[in-house]
Structure 1
């Protein structure tokens, strides 16, 4: 019995991910993988198509990474003014949350999910604060916010 090269259509535990080119025993391919439509035989044309597909995915990932790096640059240069209601001695009512920040960022045409913004502790004081933003693909940025009284605007 020999080995057969196949391209997986979906993830198979202990074998590989979808799109992987793997070498399996001929019997395993013939009796299990092919009848269950979990793979295709890897001929020259299928391998060439797989390479083209992987190249497209790589280029798309590179474009996304460049977009996120530009967004990180934009965020690091931005100082976001967050107006809040204050009481006596400039005490803030409540705290500034990630949802407040996401809403204000949308006014600047920056779309983020509140889970991407990391706040160490609740923001309950006026002044400048620096937050960490995880954009994905290993790209992080900082975001400066300035908490100001509502009457100051």
Structure 2
């Protein structure tokens, strides 16, 4: 089955591309999810309009993403967590936690755009990549601190 993508689909193609997919994948996922339309003769005539619109929309999104990227690069998030031995956290800092902290600072970013391979489980300073656009990736500085003041932590270690 040939379909025309209305949105970017990971590992399949970009908006406006004509791709060949399995019948079930097209009928059960792409078409009901409004991610694609069937590639009929009438719809193929609409492709040029969609591509021009997609280029304009992508350019606008990229400019907005670059502006947001400059704001995020200057941002620092600080998390306090309970700490055990060897600076190992009870719990962790996840992409959801980072998304909530960004939202509290006035940035609405989906947690799926935060490219955190594994949750942060130790104290330290991290630079977490945030994929704002296909071509724009920003890095947010995340600092994870223990919940004990340093003087108590030193006394507890002795």
From 77, 80, 88, the counterpart of 1:91: 88
Matches within 5 A, 1:1-153: 11-12=38-39, 17=44, 19-20=46-47, 58-151=55-148
Measured after TM superposition, the shift of residue 56 of structure 1 is 6.0
TM-score of the pair, normalised by structure 1 = 0.60
Distance 1:123 1:71 in 2: 24
Measured after TM superposition, the shift of residue 67 of structure 1 is 0.9
Measured after TM superposition, the shift of residue 87 of structure 1 is 3.3
Residue 7 of structure 1: aligned partner = none
Q: Judge conservation of contact 2:125–2:141 (CA < 8 Å) in 1.
A: yes
Question: RMSD across aligned C-alpha pairs, in angstroms?
Answer: 2.9
Pair 1:57–1:118, CA change in 2 (3 A):
closer
Measured after TM superposition, the shift of residue 64 of structure 1 is 1.9
Structure 2 unaligned regions, length at least 5: 1-36, 150-158
Structure of higher CA gyration radius: 1
Distance 1:56 1:20 in 2: 10
Q: Judge conservation of contact 1:68–1:139 (CA < 8 Å) in 2.
A: yes
Pair 1:122–1:74, CA change in 2 (3 A):
same
Measured after TM superposition, the shift of residue 118 of structure 1 is 1.3
Number of aligned residues:
113
Distance 2:93 2:80 in 1: 9
Q: Secondary structure at the match of 2:63?
A: helix
Measured after TM superposition, the shift of residue 150 of structure 1 is 3.3
Residue 47 of structure 1: aligned partner = none
Pair 1:56–1:122, CA change in 2 (3 A):
closer
Pair 1:14–1:127, CA change in 2 (3 A):
farther
